[in-house]
Amino acid sequence: MKINKKELLFRMARIRKVEETIAEKYSEQEMRCPTHLSIGQELVGAAAGMILQPNDYAVSTHRGHAHYLGKGGDMNAMVAEIYGKVDGCARGRGGSMHLVDQKVGFMGTTAIVGNSIPVGVGLGLSIKMANETRVSAIFLGDGCIEEGVFYESANFSAVQNLPVVFICENNLYSVYSPLAVRQPKGRVINEMVHSLGLKTFVEEGENVEDTYNCMLDAVTFARGRNGPVFIEISAYRWREHCGPNYDNDLAYRTEEEFLDWKARDPLDTYRKSLLETGQISESELCELDEKVCAEVDAAFEFAVNSDFPDNAEAYIDEYAP
């Protein structure tokens, strides 16, 4: 299948822009929830969103903005949710870490590391039981691999041959802890997962189209009812673990490491390469930027102008009907 390159660039750019705007406005103290930004990691959410069908399911983590937007989640509802407003996707009660948009199969994000994994596997089981051809995508971080629930979920999805796509963004860190202090020396995550019985795919995440094609192969395999797949993609978050700032001064990672990844920014590199190879023109890039800015500005305006939830809202939707 041919990649819609301009669409992929656009999707990465809009995720970057909305998150940069969150970072810029965060100090106004109108967004009062903890917010984990994916700036630097936009590729996975953008590509997955194009490869997955609207009726495929997806679940994600605390760092879920890119996945939600990639899957087609409503940007207005996301920004309103971060502002704690009633027009937010969780009616302003969840904040950044509780994004949901069932219309596009985005079934939720949670603050608890590993928590959404069994939900995604359960959705995969529901697909199998209904004999459907959709897939269930589970976005997770490298830190999730240290949670027991990951192993149960991977095992169950393998033994049941479920159409589940585990998409692991390995950004090297869990908060301030590098992989070296969390997992045994020499472990290669995708190899370890392969030994659990899943078909595995791995990408450096630097080359946008290679990463897209790898994800497409993986999703196609799972959709063909061949069993669950696990994709490990390298990525790097530019900002602090939680919040809008940079935190390299804390010395849990080096400025050199950060600058090295930043210089290989998939978004910037892809933009330049499409331009240099004549696949996009300067004027098309201007149009793309204008479109992105207009959408993001409108989303913040929508959120700011929305109302806070009424107090009575605290007592509804507490339990499933």
Ligand X SMILES: Cc1ncc(C[n+]2csc(CCOP(=O)(O)OP(=O)(O)O)c2C)c(N)n1
Type of residue at 311: N
- The reply to whether 293 sits near ligand X by the rule CB under 6 A is no
- The reply to whether 10 sits near ligand X by the rule CB under 6 A is no
- The reply to whether 142 sits near Mg ion by the rule CB under 5 A is yes
Nearer to Mg ion, 88 or 120 (CB): 120
Least gap, CB of 251 to Mg ion (angstroms):
18
Strands (E), the chain: 57-60, 106-109, 136-141, 164-170, 173-174, 177-178, 199-203, 229-234
- The reply to whether 113 sits near ligand X by the rule CB under 6 A is yes
Nearer to ligand X, 223 or 237 (CB): 237
d(C-alpha 34, C-alpha 61), whole Å: 13
- The reply to whether 56 sits near Mg ion by the rule CB under 5 A is no
Q: Phi-psi region for residue 42, left (φ > 0), alpha (ψ -120 to 50) or beta?
A: alpha
Least gap, CB of 38 to ligand X (angstroms):
8
Residue nearest to Mg ion (CB): 141
**SS3 helix, strand, coil % of the chain, rounded to 5?**
50, 10, 40
Give the C-alpha distances (Å, rounded to integers) separating 114 from 38, 154, 172, 207, 266. Answer: 18, 12, 17, 28, 27
Least gap, CB of 237 to ligand X (angstroms):
6
For residues 171 and 182, the answer to whether their CB atoms sit within 8 Å is no
Number of residues that bind ligand X (CB under 6 A): 15
Least gap, CB of 144 to ligand X (angstroms):
5
The H-or-E segment that residue 211 falls in is: helix 208-223
Residue 87, C-beta contacts closer than 8 angstroms, at least 6 positions apart: 76, 77, 80, 302, 303, 306, 307
**In the range 166-195, which residues lie near Mg ion by CB under 5 A?**
171
- Site mask for ligand X (CB under 6 A), range 246-285, x = bound: ----------------------------------------
- The reply to whether 111 sits near ligand X by the rule CB under 6 A is yes
Nearer to Mg ion, 153 or 171 (CB): 171
Give the C-alpha distances (Å, rounded to integers) separating 295 from 19, 94, 215. Answer: 13, 23, 27
Nearer to Mg ion, 128 or 264 (CB): 264
Contacts with Mg ion by CB under 5 A lie at 141-143, 171
Contacts with ligand X by CB under 6 A lie at 62-63, 111-114, 141-144, 171, 173-175, 241
